[in-house]
């Protein structure tokens, strides 16, 4: 089930079709073409009985609620997601006839859309490229940058820290690259290509850093708009097992109409995704409260 309502700047909710037909306010919050693009981005992709790689990587509870509940989205929150779609469209338009772009492939477990495949880096290798539009914070994490406190040689002369040496934050490279979800995703795409007889020599993530020109990005050592990150191969056996488990959980939930367990810490970004970036957080919270109420009633009746 796609999103059916927009959240207006004043907090009111209006049906998407109603909004596009006639704004209930004195003036639209953004141009109608932009709102139409937002509406298209949150519509149901109609993949039949298939689940996409991105759906299965997400928390099963989140995907189940998106497919079974009527929910609303704030158009303002969807703009950055649309940046990714725009990047894909631009790159597809300028790809050569020897490059595969925006091709959807499927197997018996999942379906996925390939951003770009071919001799993309000019080294004679068959490269699978996946585009990501992201923030400088996530880019720094993906590049393995981290901060440490280094002594400055100066000491505090007064206050609670008197006599202690002063330190400053310094960005270091060579840390852990936090790209697990991206690596799982692009390896699934690699499997799809190989299962359709396309040889993949290397895999790369091409990051577009939307805030690279800001001071906060420079403080994170992120100073370019585009970065390439090579991704290592993950075992096909592991990939198949991972997606088969996620698919089974989602299918069971859809068949039984039983709400799945909460998303894992990785899937919910340690809870950060829930309140700020999950469109079905309210439905999730409401279901949790209803379950607790029902459990308390049963407990009191048993007593």
* pLDDT above 60 (res 99): yes
Q: Assign domain 76-293 to its CATH architecture.
A: Alpha-Beta Complex (3.90)
What's the rounded mean pLDDT across residues 199-207?
Answer: 96
Residue 70 zone, left/alpha/beta (φ > 0; ψ -120 to 50; rest): beta
For tokens 């006599």, the residue is 163
What's the rounded mean pLDDT across residues 93-120?
Answer: 85
- Where residue 98 falls among pLDDT bands split at 50, 70, 90? low
**Can you give the residue ranges of every domain in the chain?**
76-293
Spatial separation of the C-alpha atoms in residues 133 and 83, rounded to whole Å: 7
Spatial separation of the C-alpha atoms in residues 68 and 46, rounded to whole Å: 14
At 241-280, the pLDDT tens digits run 999 999 999 999 999 988 898 898 888 888 888 878 888 8
- Where residue 236 falls among pLDDT bands split at 50, 70, 90? very high
Spatial separation of the C-alpha atoms in residues 67 and 63, rounded to whole Å: 6
The CA R_g of the chain, rounded to the nearest whole Å, is 23
Highest mean pLDDT, choosing among 13-27, 71-85, 186-200: 186-200
Of the candidates 183, 179, 184, 178, the one whose C-alpha atom is nearest the C-alpha of residue 240 is 184
Spatial separation of the C-alpha atoms in residues 245 and 259, rounded to whole Å: 16
Please give the pLDDT value at position 296. Answer: 52
CA 261 vs CA 62, 109, 291: distances in Å? 10, 21, 12
Q: Where is pLDDT greater, at 97 or 199? A: 199
Mean pLDDT of the chain: 87
| Strands 111-118 and 13-15, sheet pairing | unpaired
DSSP state of 124: S
Whole-prediction pTM: 0.85
- Where residue 90 falls among pLDDT bands split at 50, 70, 90? low
């Amino acid at each position: 089930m796609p999103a059916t309502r927009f959240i207006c700047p004043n907090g009111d909710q209006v049906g998407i079709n109603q909004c596009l037909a006639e704004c209930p306010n004195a003036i639209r919050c953004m141009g109608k073409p932009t709102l139409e693009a937002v509406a298209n981005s949150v519509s149901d992709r109609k993949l039949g009985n298939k689940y996409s790689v991105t759906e299965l990587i997400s928390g099963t509870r989140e995907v189940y609620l998106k497919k079974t509940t009527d929910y609303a989205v704030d158009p303002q929150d969807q703009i950055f997601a649309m940046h990714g779609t725009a990047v894909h469209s631009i790159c597809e338009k300028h790809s050569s006839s020897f490059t595969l772009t925006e091709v959807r492939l499927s197997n018996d477990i999942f379906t996925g859309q390939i951003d770009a495949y071919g001799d993309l880096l000019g080294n004679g290798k068959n490269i699978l490229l996946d585009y990501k539009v992201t923030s400088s914070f996530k880019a720094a994490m993906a590049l393995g940058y981290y901060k440490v406190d280094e002594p400055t040689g100066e000491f505090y002369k007064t206050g609670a820290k008197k006599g202690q040496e002063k330190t400053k934050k310094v960005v270091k490279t060579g840390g852990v690259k936090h790209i697990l979800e991206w690596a799982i995703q692009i390896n699934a795409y690699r499997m799809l290509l190989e299962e359709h007889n396309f040889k993949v020599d290397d895999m790369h993530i091409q990051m577009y850093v939307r805030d690279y020109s800001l001071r906060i990005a420079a403080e994170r050592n992120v100073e370019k708009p585009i970065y390439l990150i090579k991704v290592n191969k993950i075992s096909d056996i592991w990939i198949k097992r991972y997606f088969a488990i996620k698919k089974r959980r989602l299918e069971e939930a859809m068949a039984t109409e039983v709400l799945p367990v909460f998303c894992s810490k990785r899937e919910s970004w340690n809870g950060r995704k829930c309140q700020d970036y999950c469109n079905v957080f309210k439905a999730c919270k409401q279901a949790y409260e209803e379950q607790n109420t029902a459990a308390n009633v049963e407990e009191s009746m048993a007593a």
